[in-house]
Structure 1
Amino acid sequence: MIQAEATTPIPTGVVFWSHDKGTAKLIIQLKKDHINQTLPQGTIVPILLEFNSDTAAKGKGRHIYHAVIENALEGIVSIVLEDNILGYVGRVDGSVYIELPDSRSLDTAGRFTFDIKRSPIDEDVPELEDYYWQGFNEIIQESKRLIDQVESNCETVLNDLSSKVTSLEIQTSDIKSKQAEILKSIEDNDVFTKQESSANVIYQVIGKEKVRMTFTLDFLGKEAGVMTNNANTYKAYGGTSLGVPSNFTSEIDQNSYNKIAKLDNNLSSYPTTGAGYIRQVLLSYNVLDFLKKQLGEEYFTAQGALSNSEQVELIKPKITNDQGNVYGYGVGAGGNKLTFAVWNVRWLNWSGTKSRTTATVSNISIPINNAKEYIDSDGNCHFIAYAPVSDDSTASAANLDYANYQFTIELSMNEFIQSMIAANHIENLAAQEEAEASEDNTKTMTPLRVFQSIAKWTKDKFVS
């Protein structure tokens, strides 16, 4: 369902098996307001699959598909999983996006999950990170068969092997000529996945000068007092007048973080009693920390932005369509009212103020569209939500269900490619000598190194 709200991912219950080669097909129907979404000619529907195994070596990654449009009038699209992805074992998180031909795009909020499991017949199939090794065992087995035949007809075996080695050399040469720039990146230890490079090529082919990526920052997965995985914070204050961000020194507890993490009518409530007090909560979103995780540290350092303030100034002009959202209601001596505002770092005041006078959870949104005015030198964007003043008999309470900060960042195609390379940088690649020696089991080998290893191994076995 295409709708402007965060929803819980749909657990499809779908299970694909590692033996479903060429048949693991997902069919997705897009709807808006319960009506099938027509897809104009030229529309692209990217589908992102994310692999989040508990063990990093078992497969963490992002694979981007461009779905086949099965029926444009009915809004039906599909993808077929590639064989190498079926080597992954575990839960897969998917999300659907739409790129319209007039340069508009949207996040459908279509989140879903499915599982991939190992077929009993495929017990020895490598997992996701080893996909480029599939078929290697067959080559070794074929070589061993040729060794057995040497005893009866050495000359025939040598001729046959020479032909195969020549074929491998031709393939290697073809790969070098077709992927010269990619191989240069590999030699420099800058590697990105097949799916990501394919997505980049598609963007260039359609002549897209900029890439727009939309993100939502909230408190899902936030641990109280911990800034590593999620650097956003939720703090409370109960003064007699509106506080500024520095007044908010008390972080809320883990239980309240869990309640505000998603829209589920499980409210986080902080009342304050005594005449003349205002219950206020500060919702701070660390945009810089989030983008460092998304784009990679090298995206900033390569452009000379080394300090936090320099990095913040680099990203501010690239942020568009940003807005803050809060879902909840307030109560106090003056009745039911919740007020929402954003901190202006230039004028040092709360601005964009909006209110709702309901006794049930409702949404308040504040469009910003000027990150320069609202993101501070540490990369934070601050919002305040507060209830009416209390008196001796009625407490002031802000009851919040969910809050988030959404924004779009625009990158040039070159910046996008560089960020993808940086975000998928691989260390510890084997050199040619290490690949040919075949003695170190801790190194990662590229396709080129695999070919070189095979050629060296066969040469040593059959050429004196």
Structure 2
Amino acid sequence: MTTYKLNLSTTEPNNDVGLIKIRQDDTMTQRLSVTVYEHDKLVDLTGYDIYLNSKMPNQSTVRDKVTDLINPKNGHFSYTLIDSFWQCLGDISLWFSFEINGTRDSTANFEYRVIQGHCKEINQGNYIWEFEELKRKLEEMGLDLSNNYNDFKERLDILLEMFKTMNTYSKEEIDRMLVKLIAGEKISATFTMDYKGKVAGSLVENSNIAKWVHNSELLEPNATSYNEFNQSYYNLLTNGVFANNAPTTGARAISIFNFNFYEDFKRKVPSLFPSNNNVQSNVESFKKIFKTAKWGVYCKGSSSAGNKATMRIWNQSSWVVPRENNTDKLAKLQDNTVNPIYINEKGILSLIVYAEPNDGKTVSVLQVNNPSADYTVELSLRDIFTTKEELEAVKVALEATKNELKKDIADLKTYVNGELNKKEDQLIDSGWVKATLSAGAIQDVNNPLKYRKRDKLVIVKGYVTLPNNVGAIIWTPPTGFAPSSQEIIRVTLEDTNADRKAFVRFSGGRLMVAYNNWSSSAYYLEAIYYVD
């Protein structure tokens, strides 16, 4: 470990630093031990974020955060140089900056010299390594992170993964793209869709769908006459040639290929599309960042008319822009557009390929191979993150909606309570009345047989010692309380002897004992019924 002791000033030139030489191979061994002064007085750096900054000869910006704060009260800290600070040979100018509560101060510049080691000079591009620095720059642009650092970092990670899946950018190029984003510029990204890895009948692995049909007309993409490719057809599409033969007179051999741009991009950058939005709304958002698309397929066709295969694109009302192969060999037909009109409300671009019709003598034959489509989107950070103004507008709208709901609920409660009170006023409740028994039936002293009528519902319950004589009428309900049918009464005897039984029912509107073999203790009777 090599340590350079530096006394740096925020007010005077750092002329006494001396010559510092760093070899490119000396990774993580070059340490700067720094003490900061202001007019010969130690600077209190308590609570400050400290960064080492440099502008490289190749105009790249390098920045890294200091984490080894030895004695911030007396302006003393240590920093070990990372590789990015010696990406260029020659004399490099640096400075330390100190930031707190949106304010910033810095030392005067000092220099060191990078000399070549075993590694070659590598242009690493612009780097802003520290997440807090990203956050500060975004907030300066008016972008809101909602204090959720993890969510913000996850979104940047998604962007990084999106770029990596394209397999066209180096790490340095990806870093430069992120820096462009943070600087407020737009970046373009292009993605290719095909049928590799497609599983028939599933949209999980690959959201594209291929179909075939034999028909005299060019049917619209959603027509039910189409048949999805089976697995062997999909395999031929990407690893061979799929041949479609139409043996019926007047029929064409037709294949269509649906490329779901929206679904593909949503899976790459899900944070752009709120889960509570419907697909049509999300597709409109996708169309706003859509820039270009191009599509193509290798094909050839044959019929009595000769060799001819035609490709067209669906514009939401008809198949347009014909492209033809009139040879006897597979040839690529392709086209492109900057117009999102070819993307439907579900985010799908549909391509049709067909041969000329069967004339009754010669079969219509279509061969296709490797259909694909590319789409390009153009993104800015404002497409990825909500601005403070937009977030505030959403909050205001939500608050207004919440207040409206509160008022609606209050009004509903008032209405319902009023209706219930009206209904309550209309109800007739007799209260509990003790039944007057006859034919030797005896009421229980503590829990006698009682009845109650509430509107049209009658409840009868209580304990009664029943007479043994079959057909005895033990209670005649008053007018308006008698059931219109022969209601059966539930009878329970609190006795362990299962042979002691009684059967009681209403007959002709009166309560009658149909059977009883025990009169030494009370039965519990209960009935609930409606009256007219």
TM-score by length of 1: 0.47
Going by fraction, where is strand more abundant, 1 or 2? Answer: 2
Structure 1 or 2: more helix by fraction: 1
Q: Mark the structure with the bigger radius of gyration.
A: 2
TM-score (norm 2): 0.42
Comparing both chains, which one has the higher relative contact order based on Cα–Cα distances under 8 Å and sequence gaps of 6 or more?
A: 1
